[in-house]
């Protein structure tokens, strides 16, 4: 008889400190030093387990040192995308039928490889290629990706155990089948963990995937793909197809076997993809599943009772860590006028003192923004604010792209709560403060709710319980991840399932069973032990005389 298998109980991967003298600091420094003498890596496509080189290459650079080439990566064209679809279809035959424990074992091994021998390679690649500090790389590339994998295995087991009732005479079952076709995983630059999770979550559920990584995170993402391979993922289950985004998309989006999109990135790209899927509907074998986590305009709103020190710290960390390039980063702040005049000077002072530079110098708190287009976009907001009559740049506001795409952490103060930097996603180290008259607390909560189209993260600070409750109620739909007396960034897998509504996405909560359920199509099976042998019902019998 087979055993009734249960998976290991997951715990969050401990975040290492990298303080002076620790072994992890020595290992990471050695790994970073090893890069100094290396030639740029040559990153191929991986299709059906084979490395494919098209010769049509692009450069992967360090954002804080844009003349430094980390890798050349080959771009897929329509032919390679077609090959990847065929490879995924052939892998589907076995993978979609493979026992659940075997699939889980492959991914649990990947998590352990990342936690152990691969940890510092992937951390270093994330620091160099995405300009993350040690701490930001550790909580993302190592810990969050490890957590995604281990917790998803646990959540998948929970899903499998959800079974219907079986009254006497029958046995009812639910079988959680993978989708019939392939999944298209389109991943953002800003989290190595999200990049790994978007292909891995559907694959864990038995699906096959074409993964198009972000052009700005190629180095770390390729290493994650290598970990999946080393863990024993069969060829063709996840196919690594970097390339020009529209080219790759056009080559697969109308395919009859396209079964789902697993996307994280900006709202505008998601809307374009959804429309294309709508246009292709008549040609698909199934209705594709569409999961997309997109932009945000995340807020802090403080009640007059809030602790000013806590509010100040939440702004500094929430707005500027990873250069404000977290979908959850604080970018609009509403403070009562009295509190604003109390924390304004210390906040500006501390902002100006933030150490920014090459993240491989561990003393820095911030690195560079990801690429030139981002630099142009962010500095455009700063320049317009400097010239605006209803806004003022009160900290930072300077930038320099000579060596890397560096933008100083910037605070804008506005008298207009509808000013553009209060409404639009900037995705850089820029936060805008609006000071409201204390007696307009409820109006301010309405303002917070209605100012932007997004609904991703937000925080209320209040020591008055009733007012914290009022904010929670009035902002019920303003954020899919809501925080009370804490910054609205830094969600942890298994603790604060992440995602938002409105223009911020389909809110399927990455790293939870809600997300995994999107990648299965359940089959109900009813088995009757002694089937009926007469079609007539007793009610049809003649009345007795």
Residues forming the site for ligand NAD (CB under 6 A): 186-191, 194, 212, 214-215, 245-246, 249, 264-266, 269, 272-273, 293-296, 327, 425, 427, 456, 498-499, 504-505
C-alpha distances (whole Å) from 490 to each of 139, 220, 295, 321, 482 are: 9, 20, 16, 10, 12
**What is the nearest approach in angstroms of ligand NAD to the Cβ of residue 518?**
15
For 243: left if phi > 0, alpha if psi spans -120 to 50, otherwise beta; the answer is left
Q: Which residue is nearest to ligand NAD (CB)?
A: 265
In residues, how long is the chain?
545
Cβ contacts of residue 543 below 8 Å, gap of 6+?
none
Measured from the CB atom, is 63 or 206 closer to ligand NAD?
Answer: 63
Measured from the CB atom, is 292 or 336 closer to ligand NAD?
Answer: 292
CB-based contact 170:529 (threshold 8 Å):
yes
Which string of DSSP letters, residue by residue, matches 43-54? E-EEETTEEE--
Measured from the CB atom, is 339 or 517 closer to ligand NAD?
Answer: 517
**What is the nearest approach in angstroms of ligand NAD to the Cβ of residue 426?**
10
Q: Where are the beta strands (DSSP E) in 187-264?
A: 208-212, 238-240, 258-264
**What is the nearest approach in angstroms of ligand NAD to the Cβ of residue 379?**
16
**What is the nearest approach in angstroms of ligand NAD to the Cβ of residue 194?**
6
Torsion sign, CA atoms 467, 468, 471, 476? negative
Helix (H, G, I), strand (E, B) or coil at 463: coil
Other C-beta atoms lying within 10 Å of the C-beta of residue 95: 23
**What is the nearest approach in angstroms of ligand NAD to the Cβ of residue 188?**
3
Which residues are identified as catalytic?
Answer: 293, 327
Measured from the CB atom, is 134 or 456 closer to ligand NAD?
Answer: 456
Nearest Cα to Cα of residue 210 among 108, 87, 109: 87
Measured from the CB atom, is 306 or 478 closer to ligand NAD?
Answer: 478
CB-based contact 141:487 (threshold 8 Å):
no
Measured from the CB atom, is 201 or 231 closer to ligand NAD?
Answer: 201
**What is the nearest approach in angstroms of ligand NAD to the Cβ of residue 269?**
4
If DSSP states are collapsed to H, E and C, what string results for 383-451? HHHHHCCCEEEEECCCEECCCCCEECCEEEEECCCCCHHHHCCCCCCEEEEEEECHHHHHHHHHHHHHC
């Amino acid at each position: 008889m087979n055993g009734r298998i249960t998976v290991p109980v997951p715990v969050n991967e401990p975040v290492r400190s990298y303080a002076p003298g620790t072994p992890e600091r020595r290992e990471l420094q050695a790994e970073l030093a090893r890069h100094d003498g290396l030639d740029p890596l040559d990153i191929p496509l991986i299709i059906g387990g084979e490395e494919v080189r098209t010769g049509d290459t692009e450069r992967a650079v360090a954002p804080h040192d844009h003349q430094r080439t980390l890798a050349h990566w080959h771009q897929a064209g329509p032919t390679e995308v077609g090959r990847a679809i065929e490879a995924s279809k052939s892998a589907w035959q076995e993978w979609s039928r493979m026992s659940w424990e075997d699939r889980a074992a492959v991914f649990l091994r990947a998590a352990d490889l990342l936690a152990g021998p691969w940890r510092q390679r992937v951390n270093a690649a994330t620091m160099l290629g995405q300009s993350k500090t040690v701490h930001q790389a550790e909580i993302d590339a190592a810990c969050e990706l490890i957590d995604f994998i281990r917790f998803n295995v646990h959540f998948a087991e929970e899903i499998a155990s959800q079974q219907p009732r079986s009254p006497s005479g029958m046995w009812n079952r639910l079988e959680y089948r993978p989708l019939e076709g392939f999944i298209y995983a389109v991943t953002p630059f800003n989290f190595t963990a999200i990049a790994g999770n978007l292909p891995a979550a559907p694959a864990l559920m038995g699906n096959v995937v074409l993964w198009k990584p972000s052009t700005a995170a190629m180095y770390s993402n390729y290493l994650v793909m290598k970990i999946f391979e080393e863990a024993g993922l069969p060829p063709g289950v996840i196919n690594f197809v970097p390339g020009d985004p529209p080219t790759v998309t056009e080559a697969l989006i109308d395919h009859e076997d396209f079964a789902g999109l697993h996307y994280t990135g900006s709202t505008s790209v998601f809307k374009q993809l959804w429309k294309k899927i709508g246009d292709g509907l008549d040609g698909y074998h199934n209705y594709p599943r569409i999961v997309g986590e997109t932009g945000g305009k995340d807020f802090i709103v403080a009640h007059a009772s809030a602790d000013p020190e806590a509010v100040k710290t939440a702004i500094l960390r929430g707005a500027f860590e990873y250069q404000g390039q977290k979908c959850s980063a604080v970018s609009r702040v509403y403070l009562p006028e009295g509190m604003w005049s109390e924390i304004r000077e210390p906040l500006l002072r501390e902002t100006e003192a933030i150490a920014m530079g090459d993240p491989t110098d561990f003393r820095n708190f911030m690195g560079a923004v990801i690429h030139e287009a981002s630099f142009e976009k962010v500095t455009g907001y700063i320049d317009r604010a400097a010239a605006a009559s209803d806004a003022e740049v009160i900290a930072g506001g300077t930038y320099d792209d000579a060596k890397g795409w560096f933008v100083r952490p910037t605070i804008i103060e506005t008298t207009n709560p509808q000013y553009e930097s209060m409404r639009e996603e900037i995705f850089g180290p820029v936060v805008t403060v609006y000071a409201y008259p204390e007696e307009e607390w409820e109006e301010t909560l309405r303002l917070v709710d209605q100012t932007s189209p997004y609904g991703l993260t937000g925080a209320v600070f209040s020591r008055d319980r009733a007012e914290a409750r009022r904010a929670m109620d009035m902002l019920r739909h303003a954020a899919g991840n809501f925080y009370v007396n804490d910054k609205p960034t830094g969600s942890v897998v298994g603790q604060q399932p992440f995602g938002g509504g409105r223009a911020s996405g389909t809110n399927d909560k990455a790293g939870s069973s809600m997300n995994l359920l999107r990648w299965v199509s359940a089959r109900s099976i009813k088995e009757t032990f002694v089937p009926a042998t007469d079609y007539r019902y007793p009610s049809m019998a003649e009345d007795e005389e």
